[in-house]
Amino acid sequence: MEELMEQETESQVDYVRIFKTLLHRLPVIAAVTVIFGLGAYIYSQWFMTPVYSTNVKLYVNNQQGVSESAKVQSSDVATSNTLVYGYVAMMKTDRVLKEVAMNTGLGYSTTQLSSMISAAGVDETPLFVVTVRSSVPEHAQTIANVVADVAPAVIQEVVKGSSAEIVDRAKLPSKPISPKIWRVTLIGMALGFLISIVGVLLAEKFDLRIKNPSVLAEDFGLPVLASVSGDGGYDALANNIKFSFARRSCRRVAVTDAGDGAGKASISAKLAISLAASGKQVLLVDADMGRPGVNGLMGLDAAPGLSNVLVGDSELAAALKKNVRSGLDVLCAGDTPPDPTELLCCEEMKDLMTEFAENYEYIIVSSPAAAGDAESRLLSELSDGVAIAVHGRRTTADKISGAVAALENAGARLVGFIYNAEKGRDKK
């Protein structure tokens, strides 16, 4: 019973999710529907061949040469009704069609005429109608009238003791019977509507991006420390970072991502600023030497920086930017080395982090992406906890799974996710 209730709940959630997805993509659905409708309208207006239709009506008798004063017996009418079926069937025989082709002089073959001509009885009466369809209205009229003139005589040679009289001759059609432009347009719009809905649902099904931060906690079992956008959400992030670590003299926090440009440099910088604004002594380190971003965000020179200090090209005092904000010092990445990961793994880096820990309450490290084992081990060694930045428009579930697995295998402590809801193009 409980399992059944759970299944019903999941089904309701799925329906709600589908409805929200379609509602969110309503502009796309509307645009596709209009485009298909407009395309169908243009196609029917300029590319579909118009078809004109006209007809003649004939009355079938079962006696030839009957005087006008003769009375038609009920048996004669019944026989005439039966003859109608014979006339209808004979209308598309080669014998009749050859006679029509010869007398029209329009150059149509019997095969073409067969596709243009149709005949049918009118209810259970001696009347039958011959309909002709053509892309040229004059041709439709000519063929229909020729059929009425020559077909009965040809048929009478086969069906003895019968005759057919013209009741109504064919008129020149004034407008085409097809295409029906608005019907085609509506069909196009309906097709576009269905295709857009299917496309949206398929795109949603196979889109692995994390568009809702709640999915992170559900799928990966780690808390979402904050959802940030622009300058919003960083006070909450700073507060949750404080509670994510046991009380100690210095807390080293590495901010990384899954290699998809989730904005870790921007997040690291704004987190550091928020912590410093709360009265903490904070050091912001740009350790992503391959893709430095902190210097540009803070309006500082990239070099001399961390890489220059590690290789002995610069003293720490010259590379360290003091009081960039009240309570905030910054160490930029420096010049880009050939192998940033190898340089960060050196003993000098560990000694440097130990030295920093004596002077700061928080060290925020904008770290290389957790894209491999070496980077993950580095993050484990250089931090007390790792926060993974996730971008709602770029980060996919498979990349997060890879980053989480690599960090866990390296023994890193994962403190949670930082969900970047920013709509911009920051890829640092």
Query: In this structure, are 223 and 317 located in the same domain?
Result: yes
Query: In this structure, are 300 and 286 located in the same domain?
Result: yes
Looking up tokens 């059609």 gives 173
Question: Measuring CA to CA, which residue among 383, 384, 374, 382 is closest to residue 409?
Answer: 374
pLDDT of residue 10 exceeding 80: no
Looking up tokens 């759970």 gives 6
Residue range 272-284: average pLDDT? 95
Selected residue with higher pLDDT from 75 and 206: 206
Please indicate, yes or no, if residue 141 is contained in any of the structural domains: yes
Domain range for 381 is 214-420
User: Across 159-168, 292-301, 416-425, which has the greatest mean pLDDT?
Assistant: 292-301
Query: In this structure, are 234 and 361 located in the same domain?
Result: yes
Query: In this structure, are 222 and 79 located in the same domain?
Result: no
Query: In this structure, are 252 and 366 located in the same domain?
Result: yes
pLDDT given for residue 161 in this prediction: 67
What percentage of the chain has pLDDT greater than the value 90? 50
Tokens representing residue 363 in the block: 């060290």
Query: In this structure, are 230 and 354 located in the same domain?
Result: yes
Query: In this structure, are 115 and 228 located in the same domain?
Result: no
Following DSSP, what letter does each residue of 333-396 receive, concatenated?
--SPPS-HHHHHTSHHHHHHHHHHHTT-SEEEEEPPP--SHHHHHHHHHH-SEEEEEEETTT-B
pLDDT of residue 409 exceeding 60: yes
What is d(CA 102, CA 338) in angstroms, rounded to the nearest whole number? Answer: 89
CA distances from 343 to 183, 227, 332, 335 (A): 70, 33, 15, 12
Please indicate, yes or no, if residue 428 is contained in any of the structural domains: no
Q: Number of folded domains in the chain?
A: 3
Please indicate, yes or no, if residue 71 is contained in any of the structural domains: yes
What is d(CA 269, CA 274) in angstroms, rounded to the nearest whole number? Answer: 9
pLDDT given for residue 66 in this prediction: 43
Query: In this structure, are 198 and 223 located in the same domain?
Result: no
Residues 6+ apart with CB under 8 A from 77: 126
pLDDT given for residue 424 in this prediction: 56
Residue pair 282/272 in contact (Cβ under 8 Å)? The answer is: yes
Least confident of 74-88, 172-186, 203-217, 278-292: 74-88
Residue range 131-136: average pLDDT? 96
pLDDT given for residue 68 in this prediction: 44
Give the CATH number of the domain where residue 80 resides: 3.30.70.1130
pLDDT given for residue 164 in this prediction: 85
Query: In this structure, are 202 and 67 located in the same domain?
Result: no
pLDDT of residue 334 exceeding 60: yes
What is d(CA 272, CA 266) in angstroms, rounded to the nearest whole number? Answer: 10
Query: In this structure, are 93 and 117 located in the same domain?
Result: yes
> What's the longest Cα–Cα distance across the chain?
130
pLDDT given for residue 191 in this prediction: 96
Q: Model pTM greater than 0.75?
A: no
> pLDDT tens, 26-60?
999 999 999 999 999 999 999 999 999 999 999 98
Query: In this structure, are 235 and 259 located in the same domain?
Result: yes
